[in-house]
Amino acid sequence: MTAAVLGVIGGSGVYDLPGLEDVREEAVSSPWGQPSDALRIGRIGETRIVFLARHGRGHRLSPTGIDYRANIDALKRAGVTDIVSLSACGSFREELPPGLFVLVDQFVDRTHGRASSFFGNGCVAHVSMAHPVGPRLQDRIAAAAKAEDIAVVRGGTYVCMEGPQFSSLAESRAYKAQGFDVIGMTNMPEAKLAREAEITYATIAMVTDFDCWHPGHDAVDVAAVVAVARANADKAARLVARLARDFPQTREPCPAGSHRALDGAIMTAPAARDPALMAKLDAVAGRALAG
């Protein structure tokens, strides 16, 4: 049985996790690069928590400049089994106004040029991304929200744009017409890499704005995002604290298969594998490669 460790990735406006106890900081080094910040390792109740500020403290890193592979690898090395991503986002729906939390279950990747896989020449793998969010983890987040009387909407599609500029009006209208629900700049390739690392992933998409499509609202700007993110911070911390207090001590199997995502996914024959890449995969693919 694997001990459950809850990872929390804090996005814009979330650079710390109030309520985290017995905290120690660890600057985990990764063969993939530089994680966004030192990990803050502690507990809430009996649950072990590892917090990482996605953009680093002081918001040093742009969505493009974040080393997502280093972040996921560092969390894996710290024993994280489940990740909750706290992410600011714009909304394409009237009924998803600023202040609301959306538990998205799908992602569309419109990023380009970001390193989006741990695998490649020398060790090829294809994991399923059909269901990128762990349904049981999402159930637990929804239950925690209910217990804390925090309104959430379950289900939705998060389109991840490259940024850092916000969308043009034409882009915003096109995303809305395509049926996407919310937009951000960070959850891809983060969710893909979590899946490759066999970490269960779920996002709490915190709506901060109506992007720029809404005739009754100003186009999004940083001041608007920060104001709503600040107002949301306490709610987000309460939600995570409740989730943590009610979290199981051992890892639950994920109905989407994230706990064994690499089973059958690695194509490259053992004799054809690149030893240098295999060494870098020691943490994220350790279970599958040992088996």
Ligand X SMILES: Nc1ncnc2[nH]cnc12
Nearest approach, Cβ of 180 to ligand X (angstroms)? 11
Structure-block tokens of residue 39? 């990990």
54 is in an annotated binding site: yes
**What count of other Cβ atoms lies within 10 Å of the Cβ of residue 170?**
10
119: contact with ligand X by CB under 6 A: no
89: contact with ligand X by CB under 6 A: yes
The contact pattern for ligand LNRAV4D5, residues 58-77, with x = CB under 6 A and - = no contact, is: -----x--------------
Tokens 């395509």 identify what position?
A: 178
236: contact with ligand X by CB under 6 A: no
Q: Is 209 a catalytic residue?
A: yes
Closer CB to ligand LNRAV4D5, 125 or 229, in the complex: 229
186 is in an annotated binding site: yes
Nearest approach, Cβ of 157 to ligand LNRAV4D5 (angstroms)? 15
Nearest approach, Cβ of 103 to ligand LNRAV4D5 (angstroms)? 15
Q: Which of 211, 218, 221, 282 is catalytic?
A: 211
Contacts of 200 (CB under 8 A, 6+ apart): 81, 82, 83, 134, 136, 137, 194, 254, 256, 258, 259
Rounded CA gap, 92 and 43, in Å? Answer: 36
Q: Which of 37, 82, 109, 209 is catalytic?
A: 209
DSSP for 48-103, please give it: EEEEEETTTTTT---TTT--HHHHHHHHHHTT--EEEEEEEEEES-TTS-TT-EEE
The entry of ligand LNRAV4D5, ligand X, none that residue 189 binds, CB within 5 to 8 Å by partner kind: none
Rounded CA gap, 37 and 11, in Å? Answer: 12
Report which DSSP code applies to 121.
T
266: contact with ligand X by CB under 6 A: no
Closer CB to ligand X, 48 or 55, in the complex: 55
Q: Contact at 8 Å (CB) between 35 and 71?
A: yes
Nearest approach, Cβ of 137 to ligand LNRAV4D5 (angstroms)? 18
Rounded CA gap, 8 and 244, in Å? Answer: 10
205: contact with ligand X by CB under 6 A: no
Among 4, 6, 88, 100, indicate the residue that binds ligand LNRAV4D5 (CB under 6 A).
88
How many CA within 13 A on the CB side of residue 277?
14
Dihedral over Cα of 217, 12, 96, 161: its sign: positive
Among 66, 211, 243, 266, indicate the residue that binds ligand X (CB under 6 A).
211
Q: Is 181 a catalytic residue?
A: no
Omega before residue 164 within 30° of 0, cis: yes
Interface contacts to ligand X, rule CB under 6 A: 88-90, 161, 166, 183-185, 208-209, 211, 220, 225
- Please give the residue ranges that form the binding site for ligand LNRAV4D5 (CB under 6 A): 11-12, 54-55, 63, 87-88, 163, 184-186, 222, 225
Active site residues: 209, 211
| Binding residue ranges | 12, 54-55, 87-88, 185-186, 209-211
